A = this chain, B = another copy of it.
């Protein structure tokens, strides 16, 4: 069988399959490296992790020793679904089963100057190495795009004492993941780290001769020896689309519950698609969406492995829980934001609470900010920002949404307590109580 893409999805499938089956596996990747943690790159650049090289979890040789025919820096140019072959560098490779796991590519914003030297994106380990190298001679970095990667990178470069400007088109950062009130907490934290955060502006141009030397924002010029473009990614769908595979409005490959694509609506029975190149569905709105997190990619890899080894398993709609670590803050979301609710005409009631991760008198407690979003009594979204305990609360709240938990249930939720690890009542309960109060006021 053939796997296109040796990223999070492709490699997880390949290694799991070696444990299960006799498949001969060939895996192609345009990337020069494999089996490294993309998600760790901002922390290697920020200095929390020794070096970028420690993100490489296994060497190519390990996979080859497992019997996987791993072809790095090798692009697949086309797929022929009729003939069941793929073509790479003019050569045809037949497959019995094919997995498309081509991920996404960074979007280059349509502004002048993006092809100047030291205007970089961050997706692969090679990208990270280029940024690392450029940072050696950088006094000023301008990061364009205040999403997850932009914000993590702004924290990272400021931690390296590089003068950092983060510019974000919408009026609040992390706008896909957080409501403005929650984003403000992160904004302030970035400011406290020394990052100049500029919101509500898109850059006019990136300027320089050969190398970048400034970025024009609202007719002011900001000096820059390095520009990092982090204005989002779009699904790598060209191979699939050229082969006639149906592509959704989001740009992701349309798949059925078994993660199989279709040509003109007819399922391609020998092909599976997983990871960021695939279109998924939102549990709350039912709409098509993209999931750009490794945790979804990894769950898809598990489903595809099952289906390839005859354990028929389905992939359902998702809440797309997300967490990022930005400086000292952990920031997480699950389900829909207020903005998404509005776009989908979903009436919501929100509840907010602040709290701590320890008893007041216990040293070392970190602040927690909780926002819960309810629709018709049910939890449909949650945002948590704090110094610790964020990822676990997002996971719990994801379960709460999936299991149709009501505001009353969350207000009276049974939680445990010990002074070094919690408050007597968890702030999640307070946030639900806040929403409940608003609801009963509206009713009366």
Contact = CB atoms under 8 A, between A and B. Distances in A.
A252 interface: no
B421 A402 contact: no
A107 interface: no
Contacts of A321: 414-416
Interface residues of A, number: 64
B413 A395 contact: yes
Contacts of A391: 389, 415-418, 421-422
A288 interface: no
A362 B413 contact: no
Interface string A410-444: 00111111111110111010000000000000000
Nearest to A394: B416
Contact of A416 (B43, B322, B414, B424): B322
A57 to B, nearest CB: 7
Nearest to A324: B418
A332 interface: yes
Contacts of A319: 414
Given A323-B416, A395-B414, 13 more contacts: A40-B359, A48-B362, A49-B362, A295-B414, A295-B415, A295-B417, A295-B424, A321-B414, A325-B421, A391-B418, A391-B422, A395-B416, A403-B404
Contacts of A413: 395, 398-399
A355 B60 CA distance: 25
A367 interface: no
Interface in A270-327: 293-296, 298-299, 302, 318-325
A323 B426 CA distance: 13
Contacts of A426: 395
A304 to B, nearest CB: 13
Nearest to A38: B419
A388 interface: yes
A419 B299 contact: no
A96 interface: no
Interface in A17-76: 37, 39-40, 43, 48-49, 54-55, 57
Given A54-B361, A295-B424, A362-B40, A415 B395 contact: yes
A417 B295 CA distance: 6
Contacts of A360: 57
Contacts of A323: 416-418, 421-422
A396 interface: yes
Interface string A380-394: 000000001111111
Contacts of A424: 294-295, 298
